[in-house]
């Protein structure tokens, strides 16, 4: 399928930003999901010295049909990885950092301790930085989730990726209900932690299924929502079924706010980690204004 006119990537005119950021990341020996997953927005993010760090190695133990991250037998954990990520955060002067990972079903804790150690190292070097984690499902382990939450991330993100009906085809090693339960458990364990999730359109979902996934997420206590267009990263990846028009994304954003989400980013080029800092700051501004209005009314 030919890309429609509203699908635009800025990679071509920001080659210098790509090269500069890649060079800096290589100095610290860290990976980003921007590169590993071939994100179409990486040039734009790199030009703003923004990136989502990917820990736990480069090989995923799952093989989702939409993803191009390497999968196979992963390497042993790198004990120096948390320190390198922290050094990169400090060296790049980041104020808000997103940390994600491949899925590591081979590890008893799914990599939870490595997430926690990475957060601890980042906060040790950069105590004022805000941290958003984009975590796998840890195979539903509440103990692993609790270990991550004990390290106090500012935002806990876990993406549903697609509607329930398509899981068997798109995410055969994941479970829709398990992911929902994970998000719900965040609020039960740490009620003050902001939760976030996202999913893609264009995989063959129906309108009513999009409404259902948004309602399911909100019922599970999800605060922030991202909705983007699926773009085929490689010829081996599952094909795009449909390119959704921008007006439809705007419609779903309005519906999501009506359902009760505190912040929504919905558009063809929206990705889960893109503009994460802006989303967090906009949410803080909204909450502060709401608090002021409540005090005035009193």
C-alpha–C-alpha distance, residues 53 and 153, integer Å: 15
- 78, two tokens: 């790198």
Tell me what pLDDT residue 49 has: 53
Whether residue 295 is predicted with pLDDT greater than 70 in this model: the reply is no
Whether residue 45 is predicted with pLDDT greater than 60 in this model: the reply is no
List pLDDT tens digits, range 53-107.
999 998 999 999 888 788 888 989 999 999 999 999 998 888 889 999 999 999 9
| Closest listed residue to residue 144, CA positions, set 174, 197, 189 | 189
Angle between helices 176-189 and 207-219 (to 10 degrees): 30
Residues 79-109 as b/e (b if ≥16 CB within 10 A, e otherwise) read eebbbbbbbbbbebebebbbbbbbbbbebeb
Whether residue 136 is predicted with pLDDT greater than 80 in this model: the reply is yes
For the chain, the straight-line distance linking the first and the last C-alpha, in angstroms and rounded, comes to 57
- Domains, the chain, in order of start with CATH, read 11-297 (3.20.20.70)
Q: Identify the H or E element spanning 195.
A: strand 194-201
Whether residue 118 is predicted with pLDDT greater than 70 in this model: the reply is yes
Q: Which of 46-55, 96-105, 201-210, 288-297 has the highest mean pLDDT?
A: 201-210
Whether residue 112 is predicted with pLDDT greater than 70 in this model: the reply is yes
List pLDDT tens digits, range 231-272.
988 888 899 999 999 999 999 999 999 999 999 999 998 988
């Amino acid at each position: 399928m030919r890309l429609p006119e509203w699908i635009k990537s800025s990679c071509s005119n920001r080659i210098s930003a790509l090269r500069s950021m890649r060079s800096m990341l290589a100095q610290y020996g860290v990976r980003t999901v921007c590169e590993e997953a071939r994100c179409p927005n990486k040039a734009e993010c790199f030009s703003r010295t923004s990136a989502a760090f990917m820990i736990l190695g480069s090989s995923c133990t799952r093989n989702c049909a939409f993803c191009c991250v390497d999968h196979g037998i992963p390497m042993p954990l790198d004990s120096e990885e948390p320190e390198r990520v922290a050094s990169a955060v400090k060296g790049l002067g980041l104020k808000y950092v997103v940390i994600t990972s491949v899925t590591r079903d081979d590890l008893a804790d799914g990599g939870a301790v490595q997430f926690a150690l990475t957060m601890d190292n980042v906060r040790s070097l950069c105590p004022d930085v805000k941290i958003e984690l984009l975590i796998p499902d840890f195979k539903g382990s509440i103990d692993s989730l609790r270990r991550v939450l004990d390290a106090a991330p500012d935002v806990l993100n876990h993406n549903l990726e697609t509607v329930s009906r398509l899981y068997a085809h798109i995410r055969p090693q994941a479970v829709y209900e398990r992911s929902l339960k994970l998000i719900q458990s965040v609020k039960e364990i740490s009620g003050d932690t902001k939760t976030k999730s996202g999913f893609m359109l264009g995989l063959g979902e129906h309108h009513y299924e999009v409404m259902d996934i948004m309602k399911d997420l909100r019922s599970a206590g999800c605060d922030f929502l991202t909705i983007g267009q699926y773009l085929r990263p490689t010829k081996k990846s599952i094909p795009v079924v449909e390119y959704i028009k921008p007006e439809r994304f705007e419609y779903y954003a309005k519906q999501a706010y009506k359902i009760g989400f505190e912040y929504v980013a919905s558009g063809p080029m929206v990705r889960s980690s893109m503009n994460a800092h802006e989303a967090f700051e906009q949410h803080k501004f909204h909450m502060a204004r709401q608090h002021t209005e409540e005090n005035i009314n009193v």
